[in-house]
Amino acid sequence: MLQWIQGFLEQDFPMGEQSLLSPGLRRTLRQLLQDCESLYRSAAQRCLLNCPESITSDPEKFVDLMQDLHRGVLIKTLIEIAHCDRRWTQAEREVALIVMQHVWGVQMTKESLAKALDNVAAHAEVLKWRELAKPFIQIPMLKHEAGELRSIILRLGNLIAKADGQILPAELTQLERLENELKKVFAKPQPRVQRQKDSQTCRLSTQVAELVHPEQELPAMAEKQTPAQAADDLPNAQDRQRMFKQAMRELDGLIGLDKFKDDVRQLVDFLKIQAARKEHQLPVADISLHSVFEGNPGTGKTTVARIIARLLCGLGILDKGHTVETDRSGLVAKYAGQTGPRTNERIDEALGGVLFIDEAYSLLAENVEDAFGVEAVQTLLKRMEDDRDRFVVVLAGYPEPMKRMLRSNPGLSSRFQRTFLFEDYDARDLLRIFYTFCQKYHYQLPKDTRKKLLLGFQQRINNKDEHFGNGRLARNLFEDSIRRMSSRIVDEKQLTRELLTTIEPGDIEISC
| Topology (CATH) of 427-507 | Helicase, Ruva Protein; domain 3 (1.10.8)
On average, the pLDDT of the chain sits at 80
Neighbours of 225 (CB within 10 A): 17
What average pLDDT does range 10-39 have in this prediction?
A: 69
What average pLDDT does range 37-65 have in this prediction?
A: 77
Measured distance CA(502)–CA(512) in Å, rounded: 21
Chain-centroid distance of CA 328 in Å reads 17
Measured distance CA(316)–CA(308) in Å, rounded: 12
Q: DSSP for 316-346?
A: TSSSS--EEEE-HHHH--SSTTSHHHHHHHH
Q: What is the pLDDT of residue 366?
A: 64
Q: Where are the domains of the chain?
A: 23-230, 237-422, 427-507
pLDDT digits (tens, 9 = 90+) for 133-176: 888 888 877 877 787 888 889 888 888 888 877 777 788 888 88
Measured distance CA(283)–CA(280) in Å, rounded: 9
Band (pLDDT 50/70/90 cuts) for residue 430 is very high
Q: What is the pLDDT of residue 18?
A: 61
Q: What is the pLDDT of residue 56?
A: 66
199-203, 244-248, 279-283: which has the minimum mean pLDDT?
Answer: 199-203
The half-sphere exposure of 492 on its side-chain side, counting CA atoms within 13 A, is: 13
**Cβ-contact 97, 13 below 8 angstroms:** yes
Q: What is the pLDDT of residue 188?
A: 56
Residue partners of 315: CB distance under 8 A and separation at least 6 = 240, 244, 268, 271, 272, 275
Measured distance CA(324)–CA(352) in Å, rounded: 10
pLDDT digits (tens, 9 = 90+) for 291-315: 999 988 888 898 899 999 999 999 9
What b-and-e string marks burial along 258-269, b requiring 16 or more CB atoms within 10 Å of the CB? Answer: eebeeebeebbe
Q: Please give the CATH superfamily to which domain 237-422 belongs.
A: P-loop containing nucleotide triphosphate hydrolases (3.40.50.300)
pLDDT digits (tens, 9 = 90+) for 82-134: 888 778 888 888 888 888 888 876 666 777 777 777 777 777 778 888 889 88
Stronger pLDDT, 158 or 215, i.e. the higher one: 158
pLDDT digits (tens, 9 = 90+) for 340-377: 998 999 999 899 999 999 989 988 866 567 788 889 99
pLDDT digits (tens, 9 = 90+) for 224-253: 333 333 334 578 888 888 889 989 998 988
Q: What is the pLDDT of residue 57?
A: 65
Stronger pLDDT, 373 or 46, i.e. the higher one: 373
Q: What is the pLDDT of residue 512?
A: 56
What average pLDDT does range 322-345 have in this prediction?
A: 86
The radius of gyration of the chain's CA atoms, rounded to the nearest angstrom, is 23
Query: Does the pLDDT at position 206 exceed 70?
Result: no
216-225, 232-241, 408-417: which has the minimum mean pLDDT?
Answer: 216-225
Three-state DSSP at 100 gives helix
pTM for the model: 0.62
